[in-house]
Copies of this chain bind each other. A is one copy, B any other.
Amino acid sequence: MKKQSIGIGLMGLGVVSGQVAKVLTEKADVLAEQAGCPLVLRKIKVLPSDLDREQARQMPSELFTTDDDEFFDESEIDIVVEAIGGENPAREYLKRAISSGKHVVTSNKEVIAKHGAELQALAQQYEVGLRYEASVGGGIPLITPFKYDLIANEISGIYAIINGTTNYILTRMAREGIDFPSALKSAQELGYAEADPENDIEGIDAHYKLAILASLAFQSQVKPEDIYREGISRIASRDFRYAQELGFAIKLLAIAKQVDNSIEVRVHPVFIPEDSLLAKVDGVYNAILVEGDLIGKVLFYGQGAGPLPTSSAVVADIVSSAQDISFGVGNRIKWKLESGKKIKPMAEIETRYYLRMNCADRPGVLAQISRILGDLKISIASAIQKEADIVAQSAEVVLMTHPSQEKAMQQALGKIAQLEAVKEISNFIRVESI
């Protein structure tokens, strides 16, 4: 029952699917060897408007269809590759492909983060594979390591730089002392940030990816809405100056921790020690640090986006699917998502905090602030006070706390904001010791 060839159906005609088609063609020989038989691109499902695009004109026109039924009824397609992105219609397309008995490969983080559990259940029911290596970290191997290599580990933590755009912006701010709007503008000009940058800078992209990684790591369904999320737009160049003075770097981290049977999941800017490996991850690069009971710390680093790295992951998934098809393997892993672990409310997390305030430059201000913190059992690890504006008689006060509970910190912030001598709480950023 060895197949003569395995047919691929592509959905979407963006840069990723264009690159996937290119790799399938150009590397046909080596891929056929690995897959066990030739991989043949049978159909590309596109929108009518796609047909005029340069990418479409470079490929044989008979490959294209704009008709859903024609695509899904094509019996020669064994593997459907979804590269449309977004929640809908990707979700329905993936369900339809799975229900038609086709193995599926997707690079779509949003649909996996939101509907991964549903799609996985359907894939088990129809005994086909569901693969999504490209959905997190571009070409960096992550999903496969979680499903295979790290399987014997109890994962205690994930600390990830998984959005290249924000890491690029923060790197520029750290190196050049420029402010957020300038760094964003520069990132947009270079094509690293979109015209509407919200998805990246508000941590939306990162929180989808974290939902996927945390679900895999903890074998428990972590939904995007379970994740506390904060973006980077509040970070000022002054924060970088203080961070450097205190020995820290500022990164947007996606964090997932497991303590006992409860899970902590959050995406927000953090201070991390400047000598930690994650602090050295600059520019558009991604890095994912995983802690497990057996492996200790392991880190994966690479380009988290772009058509070439993404195609690397998509094609690897296609080859794995093809191997399964050759061997008559349906859905390889019975992935459990019902371990019943609880999501810890944000109010209950405990970290250290960096706090920057603009205060009246007069005696007793620091004492008032310290009293509020002390009453809430938050102890101060270090303090910096600098003259900010001679004319306005204002001073900048920067505090680093010892580990404290978020709830207490939020209460303290509310009370500090009401102090007459405090003109503004300029920023507050959590600190992770990794």
Contact A141–B152 (Cβ < 8 Å) = no
Q: What is the size, in residues, of chain A's interface with B at 8 Å between Cβ atoms?
A: 50
* Complex interface: chain B residues within 8 A of A334 (CB): 33-34, 36
Interface residues of A in 282-340 (CB under 8 A from B): 292-303, 308-309, 311-313, 315-316, 319-320, 323, 327-329, 332-334, 336
Once A280-B280, A312-B292, A323-B333 are accepted as A-B contacts, the answer to whether A145 and B150 lie under 8 Å apart by CB is no
Contact A153–B299 (Cβ < 8 Å) = no
Q: Considering only CB atoms, which chain B residue lies closest to A280 in the complex?
A: B280
Interface residues of A in 81-131 (CB under 8 A from B): none
Once A301-B277, A302-B298, A303-B295 are accepted as A-B contacts, the answer to whether A141 and B149 lie under 8 Å apart by CB is yes
Least CB distance, A329 to chain B, in whole angstroms:
5
Once A148-B320, A151-B319 are accepted as A-B contacts, the answer to whether A309 and B280 lie under 8 Å apart by CB is no
Q: Considering only CB atoms, which chain B residue lies closest to A142 in the complex?
A: B149
| Copy count, this protein chain | 2
Once A149-B313, A319-B152, A333-B323 are accepted as A-B contacts, the answer to whether A297 and B308 lie under 8 Å apart by CB is no
Q: Out of B277, B295, B323, which one reaches A309, CB within 8 Å?
A: B295
Q: Does A139 contact B (CB under 8 A)?
A: yes
* Complex interface: chain B residues within 8 A of A296 (CB): 139, 302-303, 308-309
* Complex interface: chain B residues within 8 A of A315 (CB): 151-152, 294
Q: Does A369 contact B (CB under 8 A)?
A: no
Once A294-B23, A303-B296 are accepted as A-B contacts, the answer to whether A312 and B153 lie under 8 Å apart by CB is yes
CA distance A140 to B295 in the complex (A): 8
Q: Does A53 contact B (CB under 8 A)?
A: no
Q: Does A27 contact B (CB under 8 A)?
A: yes
Contact B148–A144 (Cβ < 8 Å) = yes
Contact A298–B150 (Cβ < 8 Å) = no
* Complex interface: chain B residues within 8 A of A311 (CB): 152, 294
CA distance A333 to B326 in the complex (A): 11
Q: Does A272 contact B (CB under 8 A)?
A: no
CA distance A302 to B319 in the complex (A): 27
Least CB distance, A374 to chain B, in whole angstroms:
38
Most buried by B among A150, A277, A303: A277
Q: Does A133 contact B (CB under 8 A)?
A: yes
Q: Considering only CB atoms, which chain B residue lies closest to A23 in the complex?
A: B152
Q: Does A217 contact B (CB under 8 A)?
A: no
* Complex interface: chain B residues within 8 A of A23 (CB): 152, 294
Most buried by B among A31, A316, A334: A316
CA distance A309 to B138 in the complex (A): 26
CA distance A299 to B323 in the complex (A): 26
Least CB distance, A294 to chain B, in whole angstroms:
4
15 residue pairs bridging A and B, Cβ less than 8 Å apart: A31-B151, A34-B333, A133-B149, A139-B292, A139-B298, A141-B148, A141-B149, A141-B298, A152-B311, A153-B312, A294-B311, A298-B300, A299-B300, A301-B301, A327-B329
Shortest 8 CB-CB contacts between residues of A and residues of B = A298-B302, A141-B149, A294-B312, A139-B295, A152-B315, A299-B301, A141-B145, A327-B329
List residues of chain A with CB under 8 Å of any chain B CB.
23, 27, 31, 33-34, 36, 133, 138-141, 144-145, 148-153, 277, 280, 292-303, 308-309, 311-313, 315-316, 319-320, 323, 327-329, 332-334, 336
Q: Assuming A141-B144, A141-B149, what are 4 further A-B pairs, CB within 8 angstroms? A: A140-B298, A144-B148, A153-B312, A280-B280
